[in-house]
Structure 1
Amino acid sequence: MSTSSKRASCQAVYYWFRNDLRLHDHPALTAAIQRASQLQVPFIPVYCFDPRYFGSEAYSEYGSWKCSPRRAQFVLESVSDLQQRLINAGSNLVVVTRQTPEDYFAADTTSHYSKALLYYQEEVCREERMIAKKVAQHFDRQNVQAIWGSTLYELSELPYYDAPETMPDTFTPFRNKVEKKCVIPKPLHAPTKLPPFPADVKTQPASKLTLVDIGYQGLLGKLPHDPRGVMEFFGGESAGLARVKEYIWTKDLLRHYFDTRNGMLGADYSSKFAPWLAHGCISPRFVAQQCQRYEQERVENKSTYWLIFELLWRDFFKFFAWKHGDTLFQPGGTIQSTKRWKTFEKSLQAWKDGKTGYPLVDANMRELNATGFMSNRGRQNVCSFLCLELMQDWRLGADYFESTLLDYDVYSNWGNWCSGAGMTGGRINRFNIVKQSKDYDQHGEYVKHWLPELKDIPANLVHEPWKMTQFQQTEYNCRLGVDYPHPIVKPFDATPKQGPDGTGGRANGQKGKLDTHNPNRSRGQRRDMKSLNKGSYRVEG
């Protein structure tokens, strides 16, 4: 068929953005652009603020907002940046508010382009696939292309691609086989010149939209940054790429990542790439390429590999969801456990509010509520506490994180919670909260930062305030049950079966030198994953 006859059968190419808000290294977007250029037809990028996810009336089945205003603001900033970058390349972005994607495409394909192609990034969870199916109904079946993205490794290159059931349910064997057999594709360049954007298609400047415009009642202005937070996160590809450059190159922090990654205070103990990765503002393959370049130009060590190791965890959970489907969201998890979970609202609310009486848990939850961010160490502890101490339904924790996290993505969030609750078949890590507190916040700087009512309590009591006498409570200006709550559950008792490290029985603690790069760590703290050998990865090109 000639180009002219193909053009007659296709009037336009749409690209539907979701959690892939960037131009660089974007396989699905690149394919759409190439097709529009080949056919010489208009190219129409679209983003919809779907009212099922955004706004004061968008609730989950558990009663939380689907998307908190703070994360919605990050998405607004990301969409605004995406629109400007598209304009700079000669195109634009249709920004749709208070309308579902399927309703928008139904109206637009009827009024403008009845014969059009649709491209979008493929997702594997039920909600995302269900909406994609509704959108695709407004196009001829052969004109819809869903293309894989957002992972280091290509799905079709996995050694498990033809037999998903053979994929391991634990990370280490998955990692070993994938690193041995697979190569990370070379990142694609961002387009510099795009096909024309049709003059008769209406859009609006995303930079002028407020939270009210996308459904959040009463929120007219921008939410202020809480100065107690680790850093101010600004959404968008431009800000994400700037953070990658700052962390890896300008501040030269990658060489220390392994030693500092368990911190909890400050901007630079970890990369903080997560919010931009979650919304697709930066590509994991681009980050891997930068790490490989850093190893070639500056230094190669366990820290430079460890950032790739963490990105591979993201891959694992997306592929894990691809394998298991809806069982990831069921109370018994992927192992279909019959364990009965509690749903005691008072305890759940205390956990959400940061009023459990356990300073490390409370400080992390208050940080989450104020900023939308929580360290990886904090996430593991608050998950363990809710599921394994309070015995609350783990899905309520996953749901609350879905609502509040800036860096929420369905795979990492629900996969980590399901695993943390022991519902994936892997090792169950029941954390001793007090020991974790002393290991990772030795002098109590973190808990005092977020719990000012504990500011006068000395380090030997700040993680166990329930041990204070009445005299000490008066001396340190913190009355239990008045200024700070009593523990809502009996403090952890590390039995021999559980092991002295309080993480389920493998007492692999190792005494060593104090990590100079992380002052929060104590001398007796085990060096997490120290015995795990540095892996290997390869980026094409």
Structure 2
Amino acid sequence: MGKKILVWFRNDLRLHDNEMLVEAVSKADEILPVYVFDPRHFKKTNYHSFKTGVTRTKFLIESVISLRQSLQEMGGDLLLLQGYPEEILPELVVKHDISEVYHHREVASEETAVSIKVEDALWKQKINLKHFIGHTLYNKEDLPFPIKDIPDVFTQFKKKTERDALVKPCFTMPATISFASVEDWGAVPEIGTLLQDATAAMLKVNTEFRGGEKEALAHLHDYLHAGEDMALEKISLKKHEIVSKLSAWLALGCLSPREVYWKMKDAEASYGIRPYFHQIVLGLLWRDYYRFMFKKYGNIFFKPQGFNKVGLPLRLENTSALQNWKDGQTGQPLVDACMQELNTTGYISQIARQLVATYLVKELSVNWVLGAAYFEEQLLDYCPASNWGNWAAVAGVGNDQKLSNSFDFEKILKFIDPKGVFAQVVRA
């Protein structure tokens, strides 16, 4: 009987630059790829929101389907199951005579807790759960400082990291894979089986995003290899922020940060340094920064008082101010437009996120945690570290106090719409 390794996919839904998959293929006679739809990801929270909204659920399902199709093209499949991983994976170990289980490590508390439960359950069977890292541009061991000494100020983190750390090359996608034999690989669940009230919510969905590794790589190629005329058009349309919109695929691991970086370097070699390329690297560094801050500080980012010893009490009632903000019915034209775009597409730009978050916290005096929870429901590119880290900064309770004191609604509003043109169009 040959060695079998179970590859537990989570937020790493890709074949390219996937160390976990590469090592499993090299060390096992057969692999069993598995994805588990965990009901905890779709439950209602205490903050009048769902863990995952309909748009993000749709994007997730598309991404899982894409991974399954890629594995099918290689002669295998992806086993799809619904339930708790800590119950399902030990059962699969027995059923398929698994020698070891591989997965990618996460940094936020809920995701880490699931890993611990799985690890404990497997340990009772004397099976090892091997952890991999693959969500960041820089590996933690390649940083110029240990986690406990990472600068809290982003600009210092960026400067030292770019100067003293190197981005590793991508892992080569396996040319062939030997798969375990499975009678029933499972069906893709419908949105309605995962979510409550999904039918009504689907009526609002109108998004250009489609999940999956192939879509991610195609979007990256189109963005990097757009002609100069298109590049100039991007700049003129949104001069305050050039938006690559890669973050949704990065969030689910359909796209590797290192793949983005090295493909950008290839484009630079062909076309020279385009003015918006640096925004890509900046976005990747921000993602790394907050993930490493979560490693450094843990659950502090989820607490209403954050890094301040004195914070506002968290009121859990669903106030009219909160609901109007969610619905894009506050009466502030640009805020409402941004929120309506978020609700229908699952995406708004970073500066738009700062605008609506600052309005909720500073103008409406609603506790920031309720806004962060709603973004968790709606954002296609939701990552616990980036989302909660950014919201804590806006609320003034983040770890980088220089950043936390920089958010002012009127300044952001004037930056986006300096002449009030947008407001005039909306009122007309």
* TM-score using structure 2 length: 0.90
Q: Which amino acid aligns with 1:180?
A: R
Q: Does 1:75 align with 2:60?
A: yes
Contact 1:89 1:191 in 2 (8 A): no
Greater percentage in helix: 2
- Whether 1:286 and 2:286 are equivalent positions in the alignment is no
Q: Which has the higher contact order (CA 8 A, sep 6+)?
A: 2
Matches within 5 A, 1:284-433: 284-333=257-306, 335-341=307-313, 343=315, 345-424=319-398, 425-427=401-403, 428-433=405-410
Gaps of 5+ in 2: none
CA distance, structure 2, for counterparts of residue 254 and residue 197 of structure 1: 46
C-alpha distance in structure 2 between counterparts of 1:347 and 1:223, whole Å: 24
Q: Which moved more, 1:422-431 or 1:438-447?
A: 438-447
2:92 to 108, 111, 116: 108
CA distance in 2, matches of 1:151, 1:413: 16
2:311 counterpart letter in structure 1: K
How well do the aligned residues superpose, as a CA RMSD in angstroms? 2.5
After superposition, residues 138-537 of structure 1 pair within 5 angstroms as 138-140=121-123, 143-161=128-146, 164-200=147-183, 202-206=184-188, 209-216=189-196, 219=199, 225-226=205-206, 232-251=208-227, 269-333=242-306, 335-341=307-313, 343=315, 345-424=319-398, 425-427=401-403, 428-433=405-410, 435-441=411-417, 454=427, 456=428
Offset from partner CA, 1:44-92 (integer Å, 9 cap, x none): 11111111113xxx11232311100110000000000000001112221
- How far apart in 1 are the matches of 2:153 and 2:85? 36
**Does structure 2 conserve the Cα–Cα contact (< 8 Å) formed by 1:71 and 1:405?**
yes
Would you say how many aligned residue pairs link Structure 1 and Structure 2?
A: 420
Per the alignment, residue 28 of structure 1 pairs with 20
Q: Distance in 2 between matches of 1:401 and 1:374?
A: 10
d(CA) in 2 for partners of 1:262 and 1:194? 46
Listed one character per residue, the Cα deviations across residues 132-165 of structure 1 (whole Å, up to 9, x for unaligned) are: 111123324662211111110011111223xx22
Alignment check: 8 A CA contact 1:240 1:273 kept: yes
- For 2:180, what is the secondary structure of its paired residue? coil
Distance in 1 between the 2:387 and 2:164 partners?
Answer: 27
Tell me the residue number matched to 1:120. 103
Whether the 8 Å CA contact 1:120–1:146 is kept in 2: the answer is yes
Seq. identity, %: 33
Distance in 1 between residues matched to 2:424 and 2:38, nearest whole Å: 39
In 2: Cα distance, 1:28 partner to 1:448 partner = 53
Other-structure match for 1:480: none
Name the counterpart of 1:507.
Answer: none
Aligned counterparts of 1:262 and 1:53: Cα–Cα separation in 2: 36
The 1:290–1:306 alpha-carbon spacing in structure 2 relative to 1, beyond 3 Å, is same
Q: Which amino acid aligns with 1:430?
A: F
Return the offset for 1:280. Answer: 0.7
- Whether the aligned pair in 1 keeps the contact of 2:101 and 2:127 (CA below 8 Å) is no
Equivalent residue of 1:124, what SS?
coil
Once the two structures are overlaid, the 10-residue window that deviates more, 354-363 or 318-327, is: 354-363
Give 5+ residue unaligned stretches, structure 1: 457-541
Distance 1:440 1:402 in 2: 24
Q: TM-score of the superposition, structure 1-length normalised?
A: 0.72
The yes-or-no answer on 1:93 pairing with 2:78 is: yes
Larger Rg: 1
Gap change, CA 1:52 and 1:445, over 3 Å in 2: farther
* Equivalent position of 1:481 in the other structure: none
**Structure 1 residue 169 displacement after superposition:** 1.0
On the 8 A contact 2:86/2:114 being kept in 1, the answer is yes
Q: 1:442 Cα shift?
A: 5.1
In 1, Cα distance between equivalents of 2:358 and 2:72 = 46
Structure 2 equivalent of residue 64 of structure 1: 49
